[in-house]
């Protein structure tokens, strides 16, 4: 496999008199790559003024691409068994990062990403050092490709690789010198249309190009959201402020539904990363989100309502003065909302109000309506907030729960049985409620149990060993 990657068969120099149907020479312009790493020496760096570009025979392109992807698959599925080949595979694959054919560049990004993931699973100091070395090469190269590659698909792949690195590897990705800046500069360049691939040429299909540009921006938004998981809220606020004007621009009425939905969804996802720094944006964004909660688009309403809940959760006491207005919007929405996920997010937003300060809302009026919306129908991620709010009231010994205990137990048991708790934390919260209520409200438990479908009831011993 390595031999196939190293091979230059099928690459034919084209001289200036034969310029038609050639790939331009793709020059390496990175200034940040580690000079000690051998991977910078490529096989095709002859500086010949007469060469205009290269043509590559299709059969060799396909073979090389399939070889790179096969290495990636081997690394992914063989784990430790691949370790003896990891360094060599990374080194030789990296040499093709500026290959003149875009499918190869895309495959290289995918493979190098997987190799970094493999390095991250070596739980030794040597493994950490190897990962840091790999990242010191890969992160700057991704920045170069995102900013300077003229193929949108390659750039989207590069952005997705950044998002995956941040999500899977965490803060080690931004330890290296200049890494944080490289990533944030790519986000802002894409958001503001400054990347090379966003420069349209005459004769291009503008509809297709506009669609691909939107995919680029969405991928950059995903990187922005994942970046917040690995840096401090204070640092994240600075980057959020930089891109916020562009996101707000996409919320204007003259923008498409997709653009507006993306913008409000991305802003909403950023609130959990801003944490307490959300308070600096309440006056600017809460009125906007309350207005968007009545938008004609169900997707936009859904994302706005989720954002309102996140502002409540992270803004804490700075939002108390807005509870009445928030409750008014949510209460009106729950009666007329036809979008299933948006209804679930209304329940989630009410749950966050309860978590933060249930004394500040009229529980006697709100809670029975809240319970009637359960179980959630589509956005099961909101189960975490819903049962966290129920546990908040349970631990406070609030009597509002008592008339609804049997119903809530039934909902909770079905969440576990149907596996609609979307992560371990959500499952733990639901199980904690069930076990506490089973102990303290035995009559309600028994009454609920006899009404369970047979297939659920027979699985109870396995669900709660």
What is the full DSSP assignment across 79-104? Answer: GGGGHHHHHHHHHHHHTTTT-SSHHH
- Band of the pLDDT at 212, cuts 50, 70, 90? confident
- Band of the pLDDT at 461, cuts 50, 70, 90? confident
DSSP 275: G
Average pLDDT over residues 409-437: 95
Average pLDDT over residues 399-416: 96
Tokens linked to 276:
């307490």
Residue with tokens 């998002």: 163
Listed range (21-35, 136-150, 425-439) with the worst mean pLDDT:
21-35
In the predicted model, is pLDDT for residue 417 greater than 50?
yes
Q: Which residues of 324-357 are buried (b: 16+ CB within 10 A; e: fewer)?
A: eebbebbeebbeebebebbbbbbbbbbbbbbbbe
pLDDT, residue 17, reads 52
In the predicted model, is pLDDT for residue 167 greater than 90?
yes
Would you call 24 helix, strand, or coil by DSSP? Answer: strand
Domains with residue ranges and CATH for the chain: 1-231 (1.25.10)
What is the phi/psi pair of residue 240, to 5°?
-60, -40
Contact 191, 249 (CB under 8 A): no
Average pLDDT over residues 129-136: 97
- Band of the pLDDT at 312, cuts 50, 70, 90? very high
Contact 19, 53 (CB under 8 A): yes
Which of these, 298, 290, 301, lies nearest to 323 by C-alpha position?
Answer: 290
Q: In what order do the strands lie in the sheet with 51-56?
A: 11-15, 51-56, 23-24
- Band of the pLDDT at 213, cuts 50, 70, 90? confident
Tokens linked to 61:
């392109």
The Cα–Cα gap between 359 and 392 comes to 12
In the predicted model, is pLDDT for residue 19 greater than 50?
no
- Band of the pLDDT at 465, cuts 50, 70, 90? low
Would you call 310 helix, strand, or coil by DSSP? Answer: helix
pLDDT, residue 459, reads 84
Averaged confidence pLDDT in the chain: 88
Exposed, middle or buried, 215 (CB in 10 Å: 0-12/13-18/19+)?
middle
The Cα–Cα gap between 149 and 142 comes to 10
Tokens linked to 267:
């802003």
Which of these, 334, 365, 364, lies nearest to 349 by C-alpha position?
Answer: 334
In the predicted model, is pLDDT for residue 128 greater than 50?
yes
pLDDT, residue 154, reads 97
The Cα–Cα gap between 355 and 374 comes to 17
Exposed, middle or buried, 358 (CB in 10 Å: 0-12/13-18/19+)?
middle
């Amino acid at each position: 496999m390595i031999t196939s990657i190293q091979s230059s068969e099928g690459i034919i120099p084209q001289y200036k008199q034969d310029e038609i149907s050639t790939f331009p020479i793709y020059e390496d312009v990175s200034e940040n790559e580690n000079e000690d790493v051998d991977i910078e020496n490529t096989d095709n760096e002859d500086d010949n003024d007469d060469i205009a570009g290269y043509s590559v025979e299709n059969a060799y392109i396909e073979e090389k691409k399939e070889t790179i992807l096969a290495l990636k698959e081997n690394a992914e599925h063989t784990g430790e068994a691949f370790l003896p080949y990891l360094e060599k595979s990374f080194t030789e694959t990296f040499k093709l990062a500026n290959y003149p054919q875009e499918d190869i560049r895309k495959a290289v990004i995918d493979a190098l990403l997987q190799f970094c993931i493999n390095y991250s699973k070596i739980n030794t100091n040597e493994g950490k050092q190897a990962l840091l070395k790999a990242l010191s090469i890969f992160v700057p190269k991704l920045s170069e490709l995102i900013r300077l590659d003229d193929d949108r698909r390659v750039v989207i792949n590069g952005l997705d690789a950044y998002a995956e690195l941040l999500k899977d590897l965490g803060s080690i990705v931004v330890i290296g010198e200049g890494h944080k800046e490289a990533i944030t500069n790519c986000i802002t360049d894409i958001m503001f249309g400054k990347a090379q691939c966003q420069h349209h040429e005459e004769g291009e299909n503008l509809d297709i190009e506009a669609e691909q540009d939107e995919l680029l921006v969405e991928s950059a938004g995903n990187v922005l959201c994942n970046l917040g998981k690995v840096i401090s809220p204070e640092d994240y606020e600075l980057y959020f402020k930089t891109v916020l004007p562009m996101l707000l621009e996409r919320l204007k009425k003259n923008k498409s539904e997709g653009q507006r939905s993306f913008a409000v969804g991305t802003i909403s996802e950023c609130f959990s990363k801003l944490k307490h720094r959300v308070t600096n944006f309440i006056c600017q964004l809460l009125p906007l989100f309350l207005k968007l909660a009545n938008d004609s688009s169900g997707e936009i309403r859904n994302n706005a309502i989720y954002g309102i809940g996140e502002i409540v959760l992270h803004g804490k006491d700075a939002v108390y003065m807005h509870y009445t207005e928030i409750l008014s919007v949510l209460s009106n929405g729950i009666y007329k909302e036809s979008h299933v996920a948006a209804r679930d997010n209304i329940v989630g937003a009410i749950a966050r109000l309860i978590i933060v300060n249930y004394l500040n809302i009229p529980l006697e009026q709100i809670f029975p309506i809240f319970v009637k919306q359960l179980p959630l129908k589509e956005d099961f991620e909101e189960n975490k907030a819903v049962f966290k709010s129920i546990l908040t009231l349970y631990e406070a010994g609030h009597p509002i729960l008592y008339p609804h205990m049997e119903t809530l137990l039934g909902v909770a048991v079905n969440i576990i049985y149907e596996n609609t708790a979307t992560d371990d934390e959500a499952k733990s919260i639901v199980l904690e409620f069930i076990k506490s209520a089973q102990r303290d409200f035995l009559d309600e438990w028994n009454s609920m149990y006899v009404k369970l479908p047979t297939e659920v009831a027979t699985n109870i011993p396995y669900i709660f060993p």
